[in-house]
Amino acid sequence: MLFQYFYNPQYGLFDDILHTLHLPTSTWLQSPSMAMFCVVVASTWMNMGSAILIYLAALQGIPGELYEAAELDGAGILRRIWHVTIPQTRLILSLMLLLQIVATMQVFVEPFILTGGQGVNGSTTIVYLIYQYAFNFQNYGAASALGVVLLLVLAVFSALYVRLSRPAEQ
């Protein structure tokens, strides 16, 4: 709801900042070209905290001796990241990738709240489209079909994750 205030075209914070800088203001959520960007920014901000905590926990689980050994071998910062950090956090990185893909495909609350339940023509998410078909157009068959397609797409991503996260057979 804070971003609803930020994006308000009459008294929103972002338009006030643009006006102060003598830049043209925007109709953030009313513009089909900007609406999806605004939803992405709000959703990213909303979900960033938990993702950062998970990444931080993964980084703290890496033994310091690995970095010391790499440094003694003459590895620079990029090589330490590539050869120590990424391999040690590979499972967490792949898990977070899957979780973020699934969460992104299920975004509903942000566009619904930011647009006041009206949506923006041509700029919406699949779950919001399912909601519109079911409750605005009373086309339950199309809503169900879209729900099944979403289920299948998410199942493919999940199966791909399970396949890629298996340990290599020796």
pLDDT digits (tens, 9 = 90+) for 103-127: 888 888 888 888 777 766 666 788 8
pLDDT at 143 (0 to 100): 95
Range of the domain at 117: 2-165
For residue range 20-50, what is the model confidence (pLDDT) as tens digits?
888 887 878 777 778 888 888 888 888 899 9
User: How many structural domains is the chain composed of?
Assistant: 1
Mean pLDDT for the chain?
86
- pLDDT of 43 reads 85
pLDDT band at 168 (very low <50, low <70, confident <90, very high): low
Q: Does residue 170 sit within a domain? A: no
What single-letter amino acid sits at 3?
Answer: F
CATH of the domain at 127: 1.10.3720.10
Between 118 and 51, name the one with better pLDDT.
51
**Residue 61 is assigned to a structural domain of this protein:** yes
Q: Is residue 68 part of a domain?
A: yes
